[in-house]
Amino acid sequence: MSVVAFLAHLFLAAVFVLAAIAKLRDQRGTAEAIAAFGGPKRLATPLAVLLPLVELGVACALLVPPLALAGAATAAVLLAGFTAAIGIALVQGRRPDCHCFGQVASGPIGATTVVRNLILIAVALVGLSDAFAPDFSAVRPELIAVLAVLALVAIEGWLLVNLIRQNGRLLARIEALEQKGAPGAPSPAALRGLPLGTRAPSFQLAGLRGETLTLESLRAADMPVLLTFSDPQCGPCNALMPDIGRWQRDHASRIAIALVSRGTAEANRNKASEHGVRSVLLQKDREIAERYLVTGTPSAVLVAADGTIASALAEGADAIAALVGHATGTPAAVTGTHDNCGAGTMVAGAARLGERAPAVRLPDLGGVMRDLADQREATAVLFWNPSCGFCAQMLEQVKSWEERPAEGAPALLVVSTGTVEANRALGLRSTILLDQQFATARAFGATGTPSTVLVDGEGKIASLVAVGAPAVMSVLAPQRAAV
């Protein structure tokens, strides 16, 4: 075997090993790609395991001298088949995700995909150049070892470059958050996403049936718009789809909920139709998500009827459920299928930052009327319910905070429902006021428990409404929540 042919075999083996490992690490995505290219859906899952195993077998054959030529021939046949499938899809006007290298380098197919495969086929043909005159003595063992090391270094370098690209968006987001941070900011949770009150970035995207959808068309009903960012390859996103369909049906008269996804129409249409999800918008990649400073899925942001940002970015199913509950005024949306204590979010309340806080005059557990206006220091108003399971889960956290409040921590004023006995049994040291109608919470813009809002010593709103245990604790003790 000539040195040139050996180099071709070594290069192909490296490519096939990389592709096989990436596919095995993302079998769900591989199965969806097989189905998207027209493969049998029933066999997509077993093929997602078999295909990378075949690729590993080809890679091994390429490196074993007696099998090297057979391995090169098999590689050429496989690459030709892949190229044919890509060409057919492009001719039909479809651009499914290639998923040739799993999630490491996944993206819609195109002319560059065809060119890449043709180059690999050419390399495979070079590997077959010694088919009629093999001479393995031409390749010294020392050369094999050096080239193998170089191949491994090249693979690691390629993986590193792609990982850096993936993490680049996260680093950019961290930098944006640092630039938006300012002294006196209530907590890092309030800084997620675009600043409240700024104009929401406009967009024009295709729907599942080729229709064009814009932010303006979603706002046409003069209602808030919840943009939920998703990805067909994201497991938590798929788990949230039934809830998105339910929210769209239950709250159609209160809020417009749109799903901003990526990938092919086919990959998204099946999932959307299964759960009755409407208003699905397709990005080419992540261009709209990046405009909204979204770095992960699922995430959501609320756009007010006037087209301005009305909430911090809700990241994760629990935080999205909390945001839906706030936007629709239905606490059940917060405490339904998701554990709100497992995550939190910050949302714009009825009173905006810097405005005078709503009047609070309620009886304490001894029947004495108390007035929030009498507070001369920063006070966190905590909305509570003794029968709320989420409140019960974070009760010990609040007690621990009361025992060792951080320096500069606000005072705590609890506004609760329930009986005097039930609230006394909580064992809280802070003042508890009773509001059986939950009217005070609604005046501040809170729609569920536990939630809190910070009022400064001048009686003005000093934070967003914090929903869920982590967000509540970030208002009570920002420096602890950031650890």
Average pLDDT over residues 194-214: 87
Inside any domain, residue 343: no
What integer pLDDT is reported at residue 349 of this predicted model?
A: 53
Distance CA 462, CA 349 (A): 11
385 and 453 in a single domain? The answer is yes
Most confident segment among 85-94, 131-140, 158-167: 85-94
What integer pLDDT is reported at residue 181 of this predicted model?
A: 44
383 and 469 in a single domain? The answer is yes
What integer pLDDT is reported at residue 150 of this predicted model?
A: 53
The total of other beta-carbon atoms located within 10 Å of residue 458's CB is: 11
Rounded to two decimals, the pTM is 0.42
pLDDT averaged over every residue in the chain? 77
Q: Which pair of tokens denotes residue 155? A: 């693979």
Confirm if 79 and 123 have CB atoms less than 8 A apart: no
What integer pLDDT is reported at residue 259 of this predicted model?
A: 94
For 104, the 3-state DSSP assignment is coil
Average pLDDT over residues 156-162: 54
- Amino acid at residue number 392: A
pLDDT, one tens digit per residue, over 425-469 is 999 999 999 998 788 888 887 767 788 899 988 888 888 888 778
CA neighbor of 102 nearest in space, from 168, 15, 29, 50:
29
| pLDDT confidence band for 133 (50 / 70 / 90) | very low
What integer pLDDT is reported at residue 282 of this predicted model?
A: 92
What integer pLDDT is reported at residue 333 of this predicted model?
A: 44
Inside any domain, residue 182: no
Inside any domain, residue 122: yes
125 and 206 in a single domain? The answer is no
The three state secondary structure string of 378-429 is CEEEEEECCCCHHHHHHHHHHHHHHHCCCCCCCEEEEEECCCHHHHHCCCCC
201 and 155 in a single domain? The answer is no
Residue predicted with more confidence, 103 or 409 = 409
Confirm if 231 and 261 have CB atoms less than 8 A apart: yes
What integer pLDDT is reported at residue 227 of this predicted model?
A: 95
Distance CA 264, CA 167 (A): 24
Res. 36: pLDDT tops 80: no
- Amino acid at residue number 102: G
Q: How many domains does the chain fold into?
A: 3
For 32, the 3-state DSSP assignment is helix
Residue predicted with more confidence, 342 or 57 = 57
What integer pLDDT is reported at residue 420 of this predicted model?
A: 92
Give the range among 122-131, 278-287, 427-436 with minimum mean pLDDT. 122-131
Inside any domain, residue 254: yes
Average pLDDT over residues 230-259: 87
Inside any domain, residue 47: yes
Residue predicted with more confidence, 334 or 410 = 410
Domain boundary among 310, 337, 371: 310
Confirm if 280 and 272 have CB atoms less than 8 A apart: yes
For 457, the 3-state DSSP assignment is coil
Give the range among 38-47, 177-186, 265-274 with minimum mean pLDDT. 177-186
| pLDDT confidence band for 189 (50 / 70 / 90) | very low
19 and 149 in a single domain? The answer is yes
| pLDDT confidence band for 132 (50 / 70 / 90) | very low
| pLDDT confidence band for 228 (50 / 70 / 90) | very high
| pLDDT confidence band for 147 (50 / 70 / 90) | low
For 228, the 3-state DSSP assignment is strand
What integer pLDDT is reported at residue 8 of this predicted model?
A: 80
In sequence order, the β-bridge partners of residue 229 are: 260, 299
| pLDDT confidence band for 157 (50 / 70 / 90) | low
Average pLDDT over residues 153-177: 52
pLDDT, one tens digit per residue, over 292-304 is 988 878 899 999 8
393 and 476 in a single domain? The answer is yes
Domain boundary among 166, 183, 215: 166
| pLDDT confidence band for 144 (50 / 70 / 90) | low
368 and 293 in a single domain? The answer is no
pLDDT, one tens digit per residue, over 408-432 is 789 999 999 888 999 999 999 999 9
What integer pLDDT is reported at residue 473 of this predicted model?
A: 86
Confirm if 381 and 444 have CB atoms less than 8 A apart: yes
| pLDDT confidence band for 145 (50 / 70 / 90) | low
- Amino acid at residue number 260: V
| pLDDT confidence band for 109 (50 / 70 / 90) | confident
11 and 147 in a single domain? The answer is yes
263 and 121 in a single domain? The answer is no
Average pLDDT over residues 337-350: 47
CA neighbor of 466 nearest in space, from 354, 343, 358:
343
By CB atoms closer than 10 A (0-12, 13-18, 19+), residue 99 is buried
Inside any domain, residue 326: no
| Domain extent for 60 | 3-166
Residue predicted with more confidence, 27 or 475 = 475
What CATH number does the domain containing 418 carry? 3.40.30.10
| pLDDT confidence band for 180 (50 / 70 / 90) | very low
What integer pLDDT is reported at residue 380 of this predicted model?
A: 92
Average pLDDT over residues 250-275: 87
162 and 202 in a single domain? The answer is no
